[in-house]
Amino acid sequence: PPPRLALIHAMQPSIASSIPAFQQLWPEAELVHLMDDSLARDVGRTGLDESMSKRFQALGRYAHDAAGCDGILFTCSAFGSAIEAVQRELRTDSFPVLKPNEAMMAEAARLGLGEGGKRAAPIAVFSIFEPTLPSILRELQDIGGGNLDLRP
């Protein structure tokens, strides 16, 4: 059977953009779209607090336990530490739990460090959703071992 993937969304537009991407790049995947559009509003008020992590964990457990999914892709990068809580709880070698920007951030850190892991080039960091900026900066520094020259 084709893989059944949960795409967990915090904003309506991410559903519309994910459908053609999967149709083009992985058409055999069966998608299960889960959305809580109050997450994007609430993170602006509360930040990435414990209650936000619990909400993400509940969505992840639903995808894993009730919806019978084979993996999870979160489609909004604003929730780094909440997604990481889900990863710690559910991710295994046979059940991936992915952030939408993992590969991009790893590549940016690689370019920013250059040969030998030394700071090579500044990295400009942009976000169209301002509450995400601290999380993005922290994640990049974690990937780069704290050696990146980030320019928000």
Residue 18: the pLDDT is 95
DSSP one-letter string for 52-105: HHHHHHHHHHIIIIIS--SEEEE--GGGHHHHHHHHHHH-BTTB-EE-TTHHHH
The conformation of residue 128, written as its DSSP 8-state character, comes to S
Threshold 0.85, pTM exceeds: no
Name the residue with higher pLDDT: 79 or 32. 32
What DSSP string describes 1-56?
---EEEEEESSHHHHHHHHHHHHHH-TTPEEEEEE-THHHHHHHHH-S-HHHHHHH
pLDDT at 78: 78
**Is the distance from CB of 110 to CB of 119 less than 8 angstroms?**
no
Mean pLDDT across the chain, nearest whole number?
92
What is the per-residue pLDDT for 103?
87
Tens-digit pLDDT profile for residues 71-96: 999 998 778 889 999 999 999 999 99
Nearest one of 40, 109, 26, 107 to 71, comparing CA atoms:
26
pLDDT above 80: residue 116: no
Residue-wise pLDDT for 118-151, tens only, equals 788 899 998 877 777 888 898 899 999 999 999 9
Task: Report, as an integer, the average pLDDT of 41-48.
Answer: 87
Q: State residue 44's pLDDT score.
A: 82
Mean pLDDT of the 15-21 span: 94
